[in-house]
């Protein structure tokens, strides 16, 4: 049995992973720990195989780099050091696609990170320090997932969904974006843990997402009619040059599907097959909470 300790009592990714692996009876034991106070420093990590570190400061009104650095970098490294000292064999760190510092583009193995926000900067700094801790007995795994979505997930998907539900007209665009459904990410994590896989990994759905198609599916699941039109395309094209918010919605932002950990890639002899359902059904569950038979 794999014993996994998840940081962040209310972690969406951690809680979803725990629920996902609960169907594999006697294969995984998942526990949670809070890092909000100093009590965690007195906890023994002996006996745990994996620490899934998903706790972080993400979006705060204060743009204070020192606050992000203290939690997302310093605390992360301290946690990893203690885990290493006490015999934990794998440390999984949830980083972000934001380390590339852009809202658009095609990310390949040659794309250099250039974080712009304190959040992304602190995550990248943590990545570098974690890799220095690795040895044959302590494997470090870093994930840079794209936008994560699923029922109960907070963040940019929710903002987009709310907007789509309100507007009667939506632009017809031809963009493509990398995203990952939460069950796909949970299965991805299970594969990583089973294979004790290390390194920098890039999970994502098998197929890129078009924002117009996404808008249509969200509208359909909410029994709402929306008119899809190209009339706004010239305005959007201009707006993409000046607005980061527009780029996040209507621009193209993709990972190369052949990056390590991408769908059907092979890492350390392990095939990454973690697509759990097709995209339309994943949006159905995200919007309604369950499949409509």
Q: Which residues are catalytic?
A: 119
Rounded CA gap, 170 and 261, in Å?
Answer: 33
- Cβ 285 vs Cβ 153: under 8 Å: no
DSSP state, residue 206: S
Other C-beta atoms lying within 10 Å of the C-beta of residue 54: 22
β-pairing verdict for 169-171 and 105-107: unpaired
Distance of alpha carbon 271 from alpha carbon 137, whole angstroms: 23
Cα distance between residue 101 and residue 55, in whole Å = 21
How many residues would you count in the chain?
293
Using only the alpha carbons of the chain, give its radius of gyration: 19
- Tell me the CA distances in angstroms from 209 to 104, 177, 253, 267, one per residue in order: 13, 5, 10, 25
Contacts of 95 (CB under 8 A, 6+ apart): 123, 124, 126, 127, 142, 143, 144
Indicate if the alpha-carbon torsion angle 113, 120, 52, 277 is positive or negative.
negative
Measured at the CA of 98, the angle between CA 96 and CA 99, to 5 degrees, comes to 85
Please tell me the distance from the alpha carbon of residue 150 to that of residue 121, in angstroms, as a whole number: 26
Rounded-to-integer distance, Cα 60 and Cα 39, Å: 24
Say if CB 90 and CB 51 are below 8 A apart.
yes
């Amino acid at each position: 049995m794999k014993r996994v300790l998840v940081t962040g009592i209310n972690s969406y990714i951690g809680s979803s992973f725990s629920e996902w692996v609960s169907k594999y009876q006697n294969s995984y034991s998942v526990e949670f720990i809070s890092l909000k106070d100093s009590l965690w420093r007195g906890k023994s990590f002996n006996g745990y195989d994996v620490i899934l570190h998903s706790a972080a400061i993400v979006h705060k009104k204060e743009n204070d780099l020192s606050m992000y650095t203290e939690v997302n970098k310093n605390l992360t490294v301290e946690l990893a050091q203690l885990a290493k000292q006490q015999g934990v064999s794998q440390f999984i760190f949830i980083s972000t696609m934001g380390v590339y510092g852009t809202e658009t583009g095609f990310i390949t193995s040659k794309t250099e990170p250039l974080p712009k926000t304190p959040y992304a900067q602190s995550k990248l700094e943590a990545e570098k320090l974690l890799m220095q801790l690795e040895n044959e007995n302590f494997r470090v795994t870093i994930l840079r997932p794209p936008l994560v979505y699923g029922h109960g997930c907070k963040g940019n998907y929710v903002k987009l969904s709310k907007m789509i539900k309100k507007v009667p007209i939506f632009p017809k665009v031809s963009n493509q974006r990398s995203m990952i459904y939460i069950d796909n990410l949970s299965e991805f994590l299970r594969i990583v843990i089973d294979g004790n896989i290390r390194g920098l990994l890039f999970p994502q759905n098998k197929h890129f997402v078009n924002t117009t198609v996404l808008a249509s599916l969200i509208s359909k699941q909410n029994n709402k009619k929306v008119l899809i039109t190209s009339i706004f395309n010239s305005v959007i094209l201009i707006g993409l040059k000046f607005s980061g918010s527009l780029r996040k919605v209507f621009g193209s932002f993709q990972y190369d599907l052949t990056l390590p950990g991408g769908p059907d890639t092979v890492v350390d002899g392990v095939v990454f097959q973690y697509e759990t359902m097709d995209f339309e059904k994943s949006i159905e569950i995200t919007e309604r909470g369950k499949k409509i038979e």
